[in-house]
Structure 1
Amino acid sequence: MTWSPAPLSEVVTLFSRVRTPWWIAGGHAIELAVGHAFRSHADVDVLVLRRDQAAVQEALQSWEWWAADPPGTLRPWRPGEVLPPGVDDVWCRPSASAPWRIQVMLDESEGGEWVSRRNPAVRRAIDRLGAVSADGIPYLATEVQLFAKSRATRPKDEQDFTAALPVLDAAQRQWLADALGKSHPWRDRL
């Protein structure tokens, strides 16, 4: 399956139509926090709360949307269909002959809180879940993105952690340390 990630400017244009929160996620979020690009990316990720999943179909009205059913089978996501917990990723492309352009990740929430899919004890007020870059692009808060990347660190996750570490303030470092728990190797570097 071929990917040709949409540039961030295109993602912002497409998602600016919706009235629900959304954030650039993944490695691009780390680069927005750091203030410059430092590695290549195979895709572009957008985070949307599961409760707001209809916003994806609204933003990408003429596109194809494919839900990634566990354990990794892609299937068409029907207009208006509500994706249940466990179906956390949607691959999007402008047409059947086009490469994949945007990956949407659906995260959980309860009331005014984001809830980690990996550990429901890890939470964050939704109004503190993101930040905005100097050029107005909403992105997932750096410490939250690093927590997501900490599950099974790959070389690119280590690279992102190292690049982001200098921009984390004391509160962000403490939140990440608490979320990681005592045994994660990143904790000692915070």
Structure 2
Amino acid sequence: MDDPSLELTPRTAALASAADALESAGLDHWFFGGWAVDLWVGRLTRPHDDIDVLVRRVDEARVHDALTAAGWVHTPHDDDLLGTTYAGDGDDLQLTFVETDGAGRVVVPVPGQPVVLSDGPLAHVRRPLGHLGVRVVALEMLIEGKASARPDDEGGAKDRADLAALREAHGRG
């Protein structure tokens, strides 16, 4: 199977900007969510409300410096606990912080109930976006996450559409 590339267009410019800023700073990061689906599929599959990326909490200050140097504006919310948001050219970049726990697992540090993303180092693959190789979560992790659709109507519909696009493009039933 060929490896389709998502084209670099005005619609994907914010994604490319964030990916380039984080990569140029040498920061661990993993794109996930709807844009990661598009990178795996090689085309835009649906409209997106934001760009989702996992970053290490210990790198928060370096992530901030890299993103603001690239023109992103920090737009925190009062209820930020698991991450924070940046804005750029009409797009929101939603950061989710991850940590490595005492057992070496990568977790989203939900108080009292950390969400385990991986039992070891978090796997990623570089997916093409124009001239960039964007770091996205491994296909298996993305499919697993989309297989458990969110309970709300809007989020659940997005998850089901994303899962269908991934399965169609990668022949996974």
TM-score relative to the length of structure 2 = 0.68
Number of positions where the alignment pairs a residue of Structure 1 with one of Structure 2: 149
Please state how far the C-alpha of 1:21 moved relative to its aligned partner: 0.9
Correspondences of 1:22-171 after superposition (within 5 Å): 22-62=29-69, 63-69=72-78, 73=79, 87-93=81-87, 99-110=90-101, 112-115=104-107, 117=110, 120=115, 123-126=118-121, 128-135=122-129, 136-149=133-146, 150=148, 152-153=150-151, 154-166=156-168
Distance (whole Å) between structure 1 residues aligned to residue 35 and residue 119 of structure 2: 21
Distance (whole Å) between structure 1 residues aligned to residue 75 and residue 34 of structure 2: 22
Q: Which runs of 5+ in 2 are unaligned?
A: 1-10
Say which SS state the counterpart of residue 39 (structure 1) adopts: coil
Correspondences of 1:171-190 after superposition (within 5 Å): none
Q: Is the 8 A contact 2:52 2:95 kept in 1?
A: yes
Q: Which runs of 5+ in 1 are unaligned?
A: 75-86, 174-189
Return the letter of the residue paired with 1:89.
Answer: G
Q: Is the 8 A contact 1:5 1:102 kept in 2?
A: no
Say which SS state the counterpart of residue 97 (structure 2) adopts: strand
Q: Is the 8 A contact 2:127 2:135 kept in 1?
A: yes
TM-score relative to the length of structure 1 = 0.63
Please state how far the C-alpha of 1:36 moved relative to its aligned partner: 1.9
Query: Per-residue CA shift, 1:111-162, capped at 9, x if unaligned?
Result: 6531255664552422x52111134111122332344442515111100011
CA distance 1:158–1:32, change in 2 (3 Å): same
The equivalent residue for 1:20 is 27
Runs of 4+ in 1 over 4 A off after TM superposition: 116-122, 166-169
Identity, in percent, stands at 26
Say which SS state the counterpart of residue 132 (structure 1) adopts: strand
Distance (whole Å) between structure 2 residues aligned to residue 42 and residue 167 of structure 1: 22
CA RMSD of the aligned region, Å?
A: 3.1
